[in-house]
Amino acid sequence: MDILTIALDNNNSVPLYIQLYNFIKNEIQNGNIESKSKLPSKRKLSKHLEISQNTIESAYEQLIAEGYIISIPKKGYYVSELQGVI
């Protein structure tokens, strides 16, 4: 998949990881990111968005916890097949 482009707002009271989490979740729910699509690595997305890898990891972990994405060791993060998750 192409790199995610989102305008994160440091001045917003909502933490950056929640802003990123909400953006990715909405993109998945709206079908803009398809099932089984590979998400950018934490390092690549961190460089692109100019935020820490910990922020990316927090967003990804929340998405994993809610079943939107899965982590495959040594392969990366992928969008789950969303049957009944939305």
Q: Evaluate whether residue 9 is within a structural domain.
A: no
Q: Evaluate whether residue 50 is within a structural domain.
A: yes
CATH number of residue 56's parent domain: 1.10.10.10
Q: What is the pLDDT of residue 83?
A: 61
Q: Evaluate whether residue 20 is within a structural domain.
A: yes
Q: Evaluate whether residue 64 is within a structural domain.
A: yes
Look at the chain and report how many structural domains it folds into: 1
Q: What is the pLDDT of residue 4?
A: 82
Q: Rounded to the nearest 10 degrees, what angle do helices 53-65 and 16-29 cross at?
A: 50
- CA 67 to chain CA centroid, Å, is 12
Residue 18: Cβ-neighbour burial (10 angstroms; 0-12, 13-18, 19+): middle
Q: What is the pTM of this model?
A: 0.89
Residue with tokens 């482009």: 5
| Under-70 pLDDT residues of the chain | 1-2, 83-86
Mean pLDDT, all residues of the chain = 92
Q: Evaluate whether residue 4 is within a structural domain.
A: no
Q: What is the pLDDT of residue 75?
A: 97
Domain containing residue 51: 16-79
Question: Cα-flanking dihedrals φ and ψ of residue 50, to 5°?
Answer: 60, 50
